[in-house]
Chains A and B, each alone.
Chain A
Amino acid sequence: MNFGLSEQQEMLKKMARDFLATECPKSLVKQMVSNERGYPLELWDKMADLGWIGLAFPEKYGGTGGSFLDLAVLLEEMGRACLPGPFFCTVVLSGMTIIEMGSENQKQELLPKIAQGKLIVTLALTEPGGSYNIDKVTVKAVADGNDYIISGTKLFVPYAHVADYIICAAKTTNGVTLFLVDTKNPGIRYTLLKTIDGDKQFDVVFNKVKVSKKNILGKEGQGNIQLREVLRKAAVAKCIEMVGGAQPVLEMTVDYVKDRKQFGVPVGSFQAIQHHCANMLTDIDTSRFISYKAAWKISEKLPYATEAAMAKAWVSDAYKRVTKLGHQSIGGVSLMEDHDMPLYSKRAKAAELMLGDADFHREILAQELRL
């Protein structure tokens, strides 16, 4: 066993941390909540120039051919920086879907442009029913000659307002099917959802949106089965990002309690605070190990369904616990919007609810255990 990163990964990690510390300070993150686009274009272009967007895309599609573990290193730093923008939806939710399910033509058409930062793609999956059960998709796609007509409402579609394409899971007569929908289509209407995190998630209404058969991703009627695999990977990717967010919460907390005096002594000398901090570190270490174990298995092409479910079930709760204990330890000042803590505690909740929470993944795990 080796719990450490490779030398190259360590370099990537350091570079990512330095870059994001300069280019994505917390002041920017907070500013972006009220910005309509939600992220600076220059930052997106710089990340494309660094090769981050195509890091884990195969070389023949304009990527660097990095492993999932390499991508994980980046995602952890992005979680630390609270990076705003369409990286996760473009690279993880959509990029991986296209790699796994796209035809050769689709891959050649889309992936190089995505890697260059010229194409933003997002995934429309969840519906007002609020389920992550892909089998239960209700948005309909009705065949009409060489086209399909898609109608229905999708929720929590990240960065739909800037996306060039939306991958929409809809039901045809043969079952769940994924459609690559051009956002210039006039039947698409989107409204920003007001969420805890203030990130850019949208309510997207498909009103008789016409999509060519050629724009089906993967096999018609098999979308649920194929997408399940992608969502599993995405859940692991999300966990890594969450680990990245939990770590600075602990660092902020430790720095503060060493310094802050009450009753004439640093509050960090109180055992109640020390035990909060010890519990935070335990949650973070365990979250990191299970998430990276899942990521490693993905990289090695080993079966990872068990670890993925374990990771999302554990980290969803652990990250939240870390933020709660952080607030408890730091106290009043951490409750102010200009402090960095609220960024993380809100993201922890949003991340928990994305791609299935702990209960959801424990049930998946129960199935993996053949219960």
Chain B
Amino acid sequence: MNFGFTLEEEKLRQEVHDFLRKEVAPELIAEVVEYSGGAGPVHGRRIIQKMGARGWLCPTWPKEYGGINSSEMVGFIIRDEMTYAGAPVSLVGATMAGPTILRLGSDELKKEYLPRIARGEIEMALGYTEPQAGSDLAALELRAEDMTEAQATDKGEVEAEDKGDYFLLNGQKMFNTHAHFADYHWLGARTDPTTPKRHRGISLMIVDLKSRGITIRNMTTIAGWKTNEVFYDNVKVPKRNLVGEKNKGFYYIMTALDFERMFPVGSFRRIFDELIEYTKETKRDGKLLSQDLVIRQKLAEMAIELELSSLLYYQLAYILDKGEVPNYQSSMQKMFATETAHRLADIATQIIGPLGQLQSGSRWAPLHGEAELHYRWGFIETVYAGTSEIMRNIIALRGLGLPLPLG
């Protein structure tokens, strides 16, 4: 056993830490918040490109695709530091779509997308959820019809340059975060509506979000940032944009979640550090908050849960570096860390007291209003990418082998 980092890992962590300390300005943090933790159009893109140039955006990838061939541990360390600094870390291309392209994509797809993702030039939006397909992703209906050249010509809709085979897409996506500022849609679509096993009729494909027929409509979340409904109306997608094999998309998505479902708690370690300082310099009724026995208990509790979230987080890197795929562990980490984060924000607002409801921008708001913001954000984090309830189902079914519920 070894719960420490190697010297090289420590050195790299420090390097990333120092870099981010210099680069992350308040405008960037504000933009990250506005763009749901992603790389917004101005400051976000700039910083991820700088990181990309160092190979830090997709460090585990081979050099030819813009990585530095690092261990997963290094990747986890970098992301941990990025969240600590308030840099964008919800990067679909770099951490979700990209790794799947690397595993399953054709050479053509790899060459086309991976280097640009690793350089921070393009961003993607997840296109899984639909109005009737949330936790039950296999219920997705957005239809992708196979159009051969002949059929396309028959339809008379195809423009001259559109000679190749393509999919014709119709339907609606929902809660597709990043879609309004991403370049591509990482889309799950139904390619076989006839199969009785609905998991087997879904394919994964990359769609240019500028394609004709796509309409994006914003929805505002409880945390203030926007997510989207995305409507597909006869959108044509070239078949070479298919990722992996047709009709296997559901399994790809599920496997990808095992690899990628993780929640670094760096930003919460930072809020916690700031909260500790706040309690040491703030008096209530003549007494420092840090001397209040109840507050001391609560802070100690949070220190423990943050440490545990972190251990669960780095355990995932350890599993991946062994060449194994995390089984229930990624679900456990996501559940535990997001619940810890929400509780921390909750406790922070309580410790701050009535001022805990003040939003960022108010002159009276302690901790720049972060406690209040993350309290709202916590509702989302414990739901998106799999609710805590679904995480517990996965732990029980896959981690413990309990029988599937009937019905």
List A residues at the B interface (Cβ < 8 Å).
1-6, 69, 250, 254, 257-258, 265-266, 268-271, 273-275, 277-279, 281-282, 285-286, 289-290, 292-293, 296-297, 300, 302, 307, 309-310, 313-314, 359, 361-363, 365-366, 369-371
Complex formed: what's the CA distance from A37 to B11 in Å?
56
* CB atoms of B401 and A369 under 8 A apart: no
Does chain A have a CB within 8 A of B149? Answer: no
Stretch at the interface among B2-10, B12-20, B36-44, B163-171: B2-10
Given contacts A1-B3, A277-B402, 13 further A-B contacts (CB under 8 A): A5-B1, A257-B402, A268-B402, A269-B406, A278-B395, A285-B329, A286-B308, A286-B312, A290-B304, A293-B3, A362-B301, A363-B300, A371-B280
Does chain A have a CB within 8 A of B393? Answer: yes
- Which residues of A lie under 8 Å from residue B73 when comparing CB positions? 1
Q: A282-B332, A290-B311, A365-B300 are in contact. Are A2 and B318 (CB under 8 A)?
A: yes
- Which residues of A lie under 8 Å from residue B404 when comparing CB positions? 269
* Chain A: CB-nearest residue to B5: A1
* CB atoms of A274 and B402 under 8 A apart: yes
- Which residues of A lie under 8 Å from residue B297 when comparing CB positions? 359, 362-363, 366
* CB atoms of B332 and A270 under 8 A apart: no
Does chain A have a CB within 8 A of B355? Answer: no
* CB atoms of B303 and A258 under 8 A apart: no
Q: A1-B317, A289-B315, A310-B303 are in contact. Are A278 and B290 (CB under 8 A)?
A: no
- Which residues of B lie under 8 Å from residue A293 when comparing CB positions? 3, 311
Complex formed: what's the CA distance from A277 to B3 in Å?
27
Q: A277-B396, A290-B311, A310-B303 are in contact. Are A69 and B1 (CB under 8 A)?
A: yes
Does chain A have a CB within 8 A of B403? Answer: yes
Does chain A have a CB within 8 A of B256? Answer: no
From B290, B291, B312, A285 is in contact (CB under 8 Å) with B312
- Which residues of A lie under 8 Å from residue B405 when comparing CB positions? 269-271, 274
* CB atoms of B395 and A366 under 8 A apart: no
* Chain A: CB-nearest residue to B399: A281
Complex formed: what's the CA distance from A2 to B3 in Å?
6
Most buried by A among B389, B396, B401: B396
From A4, A314, A363, B1 is in contact (CB under 8 Å) with A4
17 contacts between A and B (CB under 8 A): A3-B3, A250-B400, A254-B401, A265-B406, A268-B403, A269-B405, A271-B389, A271-B396, A278-B391, A281-B395, A290-B311, A313-B301, A363-B297, A369-B300, A371-B279, A371-B280, A371-B296
Number of chain B interface residues as a range:
35 or more
Most buried by A among B291, B336, B392, B402: B402
From B4, B276, B308, B315, A371 is in contact (CB under 8 Å) with B276
Most buried by B among A278, A292, A370: A278
Cβ distance A70 to chain B, nearest Cβ, rounded Å: 11
Q: A1-B3, A1-B5, A278-B392 are in contact. Are A310 and B402 (CB under 8 A)?
A: no
* CB atoms of B403 and A269 under 8 A apart: yes
Complex formed: what's the CA distance from A296 to B405 in Å?
40
Most buried by A among B329, B395, B401: B395
* CB atoms of B332 and A285 under 8 A apart: yes
B300-330: contact bitstring with A at CB < 8 Å (1 yes, 0 no)? 1101100110011011011000000000110
Which residues between 24 and 49 of chain B lie within 8 Å of chain A, taking CB atoms?
A: none
* CB atoms of A269 and B402 under 8 A apart: yes
* Chain B: CB-nearest residue to A275: B392
Complex formed: what's the CA distance from A366 to B290 in Å?
9
* CB atoms of A281 and B328 under 8 A apart: yes
From B1, B280, B318, B397, A296 is in contact (CB under 8 Å) with B1
Cβ distance B72 to chain A, nearest Cβ, rounded Å: 11
- Which residues of B lie under 8 Å from residue A277 when comparing CB positions? 395-396, 400, 402
- Which residues of A lie under 8 Å from residue B403 when comparing CB positions? 258, 265-266, 268-269
Complex formed: what's the CA distance from A269 to B4 in Å?
39
From B4, B315, B395, A3 is in contact (CB under 8 Å) with B315
Does chain A have a CB within 8 A of B144? Answer: no
Cβ distance B301 to chain A, nearest Cβ, rounded Å: 6
Cβ distance A298 to chain B, nearest Cβ, rounded Å: 11
Most buried by A among B5, B304, B314: B304
* CB atoms of B3 and A297 under 8 A apart: yes
Q: A282-B335, A314-B304 are in contact. Are A275 and B389 (CB under 8 A)?
A: yes
- Which residues of A lie under 8 Å from residue B317 when comparing CB positions? 1
Complex formed: what's the CA distance from A269 to B399 in Å?
14
Complex formed: what's the CA distance from A135 to B404 in Å?
55
From B1, B280, B335, A292 is in contact (CB under 8 Å) with B1
* CB atoms of A1 and B296 under 8 A apart: no
- Which residues of A lie under 8 Å from residue B78 when comparing CB positions? none
From B308, B335, B406, A290 is in contact (CB under 8 Å) with B308
Cβ distance B4 to chain A, nearest Cβ, rounded Å: 7
Does chain A have a CB within 8 A of B92? Answer: no
Cβ distance A73 to chain B, nearest Cβ, rounded Å: 10
A-B residue pairs, 8 tightest by C-beta? A274-B396, A362-B300, A278-B395, A278-B392, A366-B296, A365-B300, A289-B311, A269-B403
Does chain A have a CB within 8 A of B299? Answer: yes
Complex formed: what's the CA distance from A307 to B391 in Å?
27
Cβ distance A68 to chain B, nearest Cβ, rounded Å: 11
* CB atoms of B318 and A1 under 8 A apart: yes
Cβ distance B214 to chain A, nearest Cβ, rounded Å: 37
Which residues between 316 and 359 of chain B lie within 8 Å of chain A, taking CB atoms?
A: 317-318, 328-329, 332, 335-336
* Chain B: CB-nearest residue to A251: B400
* Chain B: CB-nearest residue to A292: B1
Cβ distance B71 to chain A, nearest Cβ, rounded Å: 10
- Which residues of B lie under 8 Å from residue A361 when comparing CB positions? 300
- Which residues of A lie under 8 Å from residue B300 when comparing CB positions? 309, 313, 361-363, 365-366, 369
- Which residues of A lie under 8 Å from residue B296 when comparing CB positions? 362-363, 366, 371
* CB atoms of B401 and A258 under 8 A apart: yes
Complex formed: what's the CA distance from A366 to B1 in Å?
27
- Which residues of B lie under 8 Å from residue A300 when comparing CB positions? 4
* Chain A: CB-nearest residue to B276: A369
Complex formed: what's the CA distance from A222 to B92 in Å?
58
- Which residues of B lie under 8 Å from residue A269 when comparing CB positions? 402-406
* Chain B: CB-nearest residue to A287: B308
- Which residues of B lie under 8 Å from residue A1 when comparing CB positions? 2-5, 73, 314-315, 317-318
- Which residues of B lie under 8 Å from residue A290 when comparing CB positions? 304, 307-308, 311
- Which residues of A lie under 8 Å from residue B4 when comparing CB positions? 1, 300, 302
Q: A254-B400, A257-B402, A266-B403 are in contact. Are A310 and B392 (CB under 8 A)?
A: no
* Chain A: CB-nearest residue to B272: A369
Cβ distance A240 to chain B, nearest Cβ, rounded Å: 12
* CB atoms of A296 and B402 under 8 A apart: no
Complex formed: what's the CA distance from A365 to B4 in Å?
20
* CB atoms of A366 and B335 under 8 A apart: no
* Chain B: CB-nearest residue to A73: B1
Which residues between 366 and 407 of chain B lie within 8 Å of chain A, taking CB atoms?
A: 389, 391-393, 395-397, 399-406
